Amino acid sequence: MRRGFARFLFLAFSSCIIPGGAVPPPALLAAETPVRAKPVEPGVAKALTSEPPRVSRWNGYERQDYTFSGRAVRLVKPRAAATGNPWLWRAEFPDSAPATDKALLAKGWHVAYYKVSNLYGAPVALDAMDGFYEHATNTLKLSPTPVLVGVSRGGLYAMNWTARHPDKVAAVYLDAPVCDFKSWPMGLWKGQRARNGKMEIMRSYGFKTEEELMAYTGNPVDNLAPVARHRVPIISVVGTADKVVPLEENTAVLEKRYRELGGEILVIRKEGVGHHPHGLENDPSPIVDFILKKTKERRANGAACK
């Protein structure tokens, strides 16, 4: 027994106590350092919080806030869900021009927002959106074909994700959308140049050189063929005097090219209006009616809605 106790003391002393208070050798530190778990892939990620959602009210409707895969989620629930659990998926600025959201909530739609800000619709943002889509459809049991909403820079997210998954999108609602990052935030033409715009784009997309950036053909205006093949209807509300995200460099180009590909797009031009205000706040019915009509048509035709 004494021999066992003496051996214990020897091992404890030799393994943990270094004469003179010196730092243990790296091998010992490595053994003591917890192994970090690998990042969860977006497609199988789970909500990274054990706490229940924070519940509040948003314009009279229940609002839930929580995190999913380390990013903020905001879900506004209708009082009674419509058949099939249809939903709006806001890509950015969830509080901007809420009249459409409120009108659809009253008709039983959910409104969701998943924060992938400052990634400008880059593939890394789309990967995160893929994970949230699985969460929304599998866990929340929302419709497999949401309507994506792209306000301003959100146009990059909404259109790029639609081009990646055109079979999973019922329709797209754009509002003063960025359709080419060379217009904004880079400001190469008439569009407003955002501070550090080029650097942010290069960082988000992983471009190594400016030549690689300029040769990129994955902007919404360049990548409409898969969207048109799946006949995804688009509505875009724009101001004709927008100097931040000029109509002629963004929606006008997208409109022309989409029509040439046989796609359906309705553009509502607000004469003399700039980048703000967004939406049709006095009467959102043209947007709401378009969304309801097109999702109903696609459900009936089996084109995308299930």
- Exposure pattern of 244-253 as b/e (b: 16+ CB <10 Å)? bbbbebbbbb
Look at residue 303 in the predicted model and tell me its pLDDT. Answer: 55
Dist CA 14 CA 202 (whole Å):
52
Look at residue 27 in the predicted model and tell me its pLDDT. Answer: 31
Nearest to 148 by CA among 180, 123, 119, 126: 126
Report which residue type is found at 186: M
Look at residue 301 in the predicted model and tell me its pLDDT. Answer: 81
Instruction: Give CATH for domain 51-301.
Output: 3.40.50.1820
Instruction: Characterise 224 by phi-psi region: left (phi > 0), alpha (psi -120 to 50), beta (else).
Output: alpha
Kindly report each contact of residues 182-191 with a partner whose C-beta sits within 8 Å and lies 24 or more positions away, as own/partner.
182/214, 182/219, 183/245, 183/246, 183/249, 183/250, 184/153, 184/244, 184/245, 184/250, 185/120, 185/153, 189/246, 189/249, 190/243, 190/246, 190/248, 190/249, 191/244, 191/245, 191/246, 191/249, 191/250
Q: H-helix or E-strand containing 13?
A: helix 2-16
Q: What angle, 0 to 180 degrees and rounded to 10, lies between the N-to-C axes of helices 154-164 and 123-134?
A: 70
Look at residue 302 in the predicted model and tell me its pLDDT. Answer: 73
Per the DSSP assignment, residues forming a β-bridge with 270 are 239
Report which residue type is found at 266: L
Dist CA 122 CA 140 (whole Å):
26
Look at residue 56 in the predicted model and tell me its pLDDT. Answer: 98
**Token pair for 272:** 């003399």
Look at residue 131 in the predicted model and tell me its pLDDT. Answer: 97
pLDDT tens per residue across span 87-129:
999 999 999 999 999 999 999 999 999 999 999 999 999 999 9
Task: pLDDT tens for the chain, 306 residues: list them.
Answer: 444 444 433 333 333 332 333 333 333 222 222 223 333 344 344 445 447 899 999 999 999 999 999 999 999 999 999 999 999 999 999 999 999 999 999 999 999 999 999 999 999 999 999 999 999 999 999 999 999 999 999 999 999 999 999 999 999 999 999 999 999 999 999 999 998 889 999 999 999 999 999 999 999 999 999 999 999 999 999 999 999 999 999 999 999 999 999 999 999 999 999 999 999 999 999 999 999 999 999 888 875 444
- Enter the DSSP assignment of 233: -
Tell me the pTM. Answer: 0.83
Dist CA 158 CA 113 (whole Å):
12
Q: Is there a contact between 292 and 107 (Cβ–Cβ < 8 Å)?
A: yes
Nearest to 184 by CA among 150, 155, 148: 155
Dist CA 141 CA 160 (whole Å):
24
